[in-house]
Amino acid sequence: MTKRILLIVGGGIAAYKCLELVRRARDKGIAVRCVMTAAAQQFVTPLSFGSLTNDTVYTDLFSLNDEAEIGHIRLSREADLAVIAPATADLLAKLANGVADSLAGAVLLATDKPVLAAPAMNPRMWSHPATKRNVAQLAADGVRFVGPNSGEMAESGEAGEGRMAEPAEILAAIEDMISGPKPLAGKRVLITSGPTHEPIDPVRYIANRSSGKQGHAIAAAAAAAGAEVTLVSGPVTIPDPAGVTVVPVETARQMLAAVEETLPADIAICAAAVADWRPDTEGAQKMKKDGTSAAPGLTLVENPDILRTLAQHHTLRPAIVVGFAAETETVIDHAKAKLARKGCDLIVANDVSHSTGVMGGDRNSVHLVTPDGVESWEDMDKTEVARRLVAHVAANLEGHHKKKAAKPRRKGPKKTTTKSSR
Ligand code: C5P
């Protein structure tokens, strides 16, 4: 069923960012209905929000038309979530004190749905004891907050805490609040992502073309599924996913150390393109060419296999261990061999030949290879691969726990039951 949010737009310069928020929410299939305060209309017009939401924009508590058509009580209850953005100091004060002298105030007082606030104000206003009191009261009342962030203010170049969270962050909080039950709540998920860099000397290294997009998307999807996620990432240029603990590393050996440090975990997904080999020594200084002698040879030694270490861990093997197989030929056969060699539960195989555009691209077409067979998915966005993979692994984890619970206990010495005298 389509999810709907009621967006209450407050009067601040950040109101313009809410146009982007509406667009992104609708892209995700979330319906948006807007209430604008009088002050908000000084910054952005109701026509802009009306065009983007494709719905009436409500502005007036005493509008005969609006009241006859929908009424502020229904307005407040027909949504799955009320979002206040920008949540100005004034709106927060009103809500904290139950003031209902405007449509926004009345709607928020009448709602029976969760409320998310994205504060935006001058840093001094945000740190004022009155605002702090109001925010503490609202948090105690169950209102959730996203932001504010630190940075430059739109007015007078002032900087500090008070910038409204970015539309993507607000949308992530919205999705988190309107999504159903979380299949990985309470579970620890460890993910490796990105390439590794194996130094030759202080300025040169061996690397590969991995962008980290697939691994990072899996981390974001696992976090959205309620897991506590640690993402051990090689050097990448993409942003850290929200709600995830990121451990940045450079080399395979550092990645292994960070992974071992993170155990125990319920699930491990190794999406990193770990360099198989590293130079056996790292030059302390930049190697120089002198124009006469031959080019230096590189002697390579094998890197530790992180996936294999996890899958064959004697004491702390995660219940589910997933590996990736980036291949350029006979993808499935290689993946099957890898599954056996590494000892993991699932290999996600993909063709990374140059012509597929998978390495560094946004799309992926994968095959899930398990001891039970092969499941091929159609070509889709990496974020969608991530979402489906996380759902698949979560279902397997549940199956794993059920199987474990059903296993008969190891036979010990026969117990004789004696009747209690109590
Ligand atoms: O052995 P190969 O590199 O083909 O295997 C790919 C899988 O193994 C990926 O899941 C990758 O993250 C993992 N791997 C690893 N440590 C290595 C090499 C690969 O974790 N040294």
Domains 4-178 and 188-278+301-404 share a fold: yes
CA neighbours within 13 Å on the CB side: how many for 121?
Answer: 20
pLDDT tens by residue, 385-420:
999 999 999 999 988 877 777 765 554 444 433 333
pLDDT tens by residue, 96-133:
999 999 999 999 999 999 999 999 999 999 999 999 99
In 337-390, beta strands by DSSP E: 346-351, 363-364, 366-370, 373-376, 380-381
The number of the ligand 1 atom at minimal distance from the alpha carbon of 325 is 6
Tokens 């006469």 correspond to what residue?
Answer: 292
The pTM of the full predicted model, rounded to 2 decimals, is: 0.69
Query: Which residues are registered as beta bridge partners of 273?
Result: 195
- C-alpha 273 – ligand 1 centre gap (Å): 6
Q: Please calculate the CA angle 147-126-13 and round it to the nearest 5 degrees.
A: 70
In 88-138, beta strands by DSSP E: 115-119
CATH of 4-178, one of 3.40.50.1950, 3.30.565.10, 3.90.1170.50, 3.20.10.10: 3.40.50.1950
The number of the ligand 1 atom at minimal distance from the alpha carbon of 327 is 4
- Ligand 1 atom 9, closest CA: 324
Are 117 and 92 contacting, i.e. CB atoms less than 8 angstroms apart?
yes
The number of the ligand 1 atom at minimal distance from the alpha carbon of 252 is 21
Question: Which of 157, 151, 76, 80 lies closest to 120 in space, CA to CA?
Answer: 151
- C-alpha 188 – ligand 1 centre gap (Å): 21
CATH of 188-278+301-404, one of 3.10.450.40, 1.10.357.10, 3.40.50.10300, 3.40.50.10680: 3.40.50.10300
For each successive 10 residues of the chain (422 residues), what is the average pLDDT? 93 96 96 96 96 92 66 82 97 95 92 95 94 95 92 74 93 89 94 98 94 95 94 96 93 98 98 97 87 86 98 97 91 94 96 74 90 93 93 92 70 42 35
The number of the ligand 1 atom at minimal distance from the alpha carbon of 276 is 21
- C-alpha 59 – ligand 1 centre gap (Å): 57
Tokens 């999705």 correspond to what residue?
Answer: 175
Residue 211 has what DSSP assignment? -
Distance (Å, rounded) from C-alpha 196 to C-alpha 37?
A: 51
Q: What is the pLDDT of residue 421?
A: 35
Taken in order 386, 388, 394, 400, the sign of the CA dihedral is negative
- Ligand 1 atom 2, closest CA: 325
- Residue 327 structure tokens: 């291949």
Q: Domain boundaries in the chain?
A: 4-178, 188-278+301-404
Which of 253, 267, 306, 352 for a ligand 1 pocket mutation test, highest count of atoms within 8 Å of Cβ?
306
- C-alpha 94 – ligand 1 centre gap (Å): 55
Burial zone of 248 (CB within 10 Å; 0-12 exposed, 13-18 middle, 19+ buried) = middle
Task: State how far Cα 354 lies from the chain centre.
Answer: 28
The verdict on whether 208 is a catalytic residue reads yes
Burial zone of 262 (CB within 10 Å; 0-12 exposed, 13-18 middle, 19+ buried) = buried
Q: What is the pLDDT of residue 207?
A: 95
- C-alpha 323 – ligand 1 centre gap (Å): 7
- C-alpha 359 – ligand 1 centre gap (Å): 15
122, 149, 208, 396: the catalytic one is 208
Residue 356 has what DSSP assignment? G
The number of the ligand 1 atom at minimal distance from the alpha carbon of 309 is 20
Are 332 and 314 contacting, i.e. CB atoms less than 8 angstroms apart?
no
Within 6 Å (CB) of ligand 1, which residues are found? 192, 252, 270, 272, 274, 276, 303, 305-307, 323-325, 338
